[in-house]
Amino acid sequence: MRVVMKFGGTSVGNAEAIRQVAKIVAENHREHEVVLVVSAMNAPDLRTTDTLIAAAHAAAAGDGDATAEVAPRLLAMHMEVASALAKPSDCPALEEELRTMLAYLSNLSRSIAILGELTPRALDLFSGLGERLNARLIAAALRGAGLDACAVDATELIVTDERYGMASPLMDETREQVRACLQPMLLAGQVPVVTGFIGATRDGVPTTLGRGGSDYSCSILGAALDVQEVWFWKEVDGVLSANPKLVPAAHTLPRLSYSEMGEMAYYGANVLHPKTVQPLVQRGIPIHIRNTFNPAHPGTVISNEQSSGTAKAVTAIKDVTLITVGGPGMLGLTGVAARIFGAVARAGSNNLLISQASSEQSVCLAVPRAEAGAAVAELRAELANDFSAHDVEHIGVLECTIIAVVGSGMRGTPGIAGRIFGALGHAGINIIAIAQGSTENNISLVVAPADADAAVQAIHQSFRL
């Protein structure tokens, strides 16, 4: 079969980890056609993407040497792995190539310092460099392990729109390019090592797909190549029923549906980038999540199949602000909800949860804390006349945590909400707001940040998840 597999930043964080990656790839390559997608290297003391982004911002603030200062450390980190794992004859050319790429960025840094301005387009050149360095390193390490591996920049494969920093793929063009480039390599028995996270516009200008976007890259390639399976190698045994730091009894979920995974990705279970399932759903390509450091564990399989069970997992999104717009005149005031959400959208803020009771005296919505200030300012401007008319009397803000209980088997099963609220009542936890979409695969509640951990624990225990 044909698989595309992605290794996260920590799975490729040092020579030992990359040796393990090479072993996994070599074993699977005996039976399968394998495409590899890699993130930038994440060592505990040197997180490549964060470091490059910080250097770009330092340049914009006037420190044009910031990149030149970190470049030798990045080069050393990559070459140290190369000297352990690559063929000695491969190392000089690799070093030269990485050096040239870092030098280009150091020069760009100096220009940015002179201009005093960092555009999103220039920032993408910085943030995406880690993947380019690492794909070359991993390809060399795989050659060291006897595989015919070759680094490929996704700028040659993934065609995106021009939303720098958060680009979306243009799937038809991407499919054409991916097949033209990777198909012949696979047929020749090669292992393409593709950079995650990056793409390029139709004009060839590099873009990035958003932080953590290598997962998304992997599923874009999987869909474009019609692979049989997409594998994500992580540092955990699959998707867990809750954060194990909070809930020691948390366990790996063997099966999930795409929609359950979509809900969980969104709700803070930091397993896959939220967009990852999108390209695969239509084609029904299953996702496997497995542990690089425990490859014998079967992990989690995510597919179209509905699996048994009601509530499966409970997650928490922290750092959220609940905004409440209320007033006596909102009852029957047609269009007020549209204006409220329009204002929040204009502020560029993302609604995480919406709730309005049928008395219509207030509408509340939750947004990420960092976006709350702008949303409230825009709401005040939009509703200025309603305030003068006393139709709207207050806009309240409250720091909170959203707790989401996920599982598509909750649909049509009576008593689930009762059990959740019962568990929280029993634990003495106050619920501030509630939302459940009519798909019924997610019940979300808002609690005070101080109650969040206890809420997750109480719900997990009540369902013996």
Return the number of the residue (9 or 309) whose C-beta is nearest Mg ion: 9
H-helix or E-strand spanning residue 447: strand 442-447
Q: Among Mg ion, ligand ASP, none, what does residue 286 contact (CB within 5–8 Å per kind)?
A: none
**C-beta of residue 26 within 8 angstroms of C-beta of residue 60:** no
Binding site residues, Mg ion, CB under 5 A = 9, 39
Q: Among Mg ion, ligand ASP, none, what does residue 197 contact (CB within 5–8 Å per kind)?
A: ligand ASP
Please state the closest distance from residue 218 (CB atom) to Mg ion, in A.
Answer: 11
Q: What is the 3-state secondary structure (H, E, C) of 82-142?
A: HHHHCCHHHHHHHHHHHHHHHHHHHHHHHHHHHHCCCCHHHHHHHHCHHHHHHHHHHHHHH
Cβ-proximal residue to ligand ASP, closest one: 214
Return the number of the residue (86 or 209) whose C-beta is nearest ligand ASP: 209
In angstroms, the CA 297 to CA 288 distance is 11
Q: Among Mg ion, ligand ASP, none, what does residue 49 contact (CB within 5–8 Å per kind)?
A: ligand ASP
Return the number of the residue (234 or 255) whose C-beta is nearest Mg ion: 234
**C-beta of residue 153 within 8 angstroms of C-beta of residue 64:** no
Please state the closest distance from residue 384 (CB atom) to ligand ASP, in A.
Answer: 39
Q: Among Mg ion, ligand ASP, none, what does residue 213 contact (CB within 5–8 Å per kind)?
A: ligand ASP
Q: Among ligand ASP, Mg ion, none, what does residue 192 contact (CB within 5–8 Å per kind)?
A: none
Percent composition of the chain: helix, strand, coil (DSSP 3-state, to 5): 45, 20, 35
Please state the closest distance from residue 391 (CB atom) to Mg ion, in A.
Answer: 47
Return the number of the residue (214 or 444) whose C-beta is nearest ligand ASP: 214
Cβ-proximal residue to Mg ion, closest one: 9
Per DSSP, the residues of 360-390 read -SEEEEEEEHHHHHHHHHHHHHHTHHHHHTT
The SS3 call for residue 331 is coil
**C-beta of residue 435 within 8 angstroms of C-beta of residue 404:** no
Please state the closest distance from residue 221 (CB atom) to Mg ion, in A.
Answer: 16
Please state the closest distance from residue 384 (CB atom) to Mg ion, in A.
Answer: 43
Q: Among ligand ASP, Mg ion, none, what does residue 444 contact (CB within 5–8 Å per kind)?
A: none
Q: Which residues contact 429 (CB under 8 A, 6 or more apart)?
A: 447, 451, 454, 455, 458
Please state the closest distance from residue 167 (CB atom) to ligand ASP, in A.
Answer: 13
Q: Among Mg ion, ligand ASP, none, what does residue 268 contact (CB within 5–8 Å per kind)?
A: none
Torsion of Cα atoms, 240 then 241 then 244 then 247, to 10°: -170
Binding site residues, ligand ASP, CB under 6 A = 9, 39-40, 49, 130, 196-197, 211-214
Return the number of the residue (78 or 460) whose C-beta is nearest ligand ASP: 78
Please state the closest distance from residue 86 (CB atom) to Mg ion, in A.
Answer: 23
Return the number of the residue (9 or 279) whose C-beta is nearest Mg ion: 9
Measured CA distances, 396 to 36, 81, 334, 371, 402 (Å): 48, 53, 21, 15, 17
Alpha-helical runs (H) found in 324-431: 336-346, 369-382, 384-388, 416-426
Return the number of the residue (12 or 424) whose C-beta is nearest ligand ASP: 12
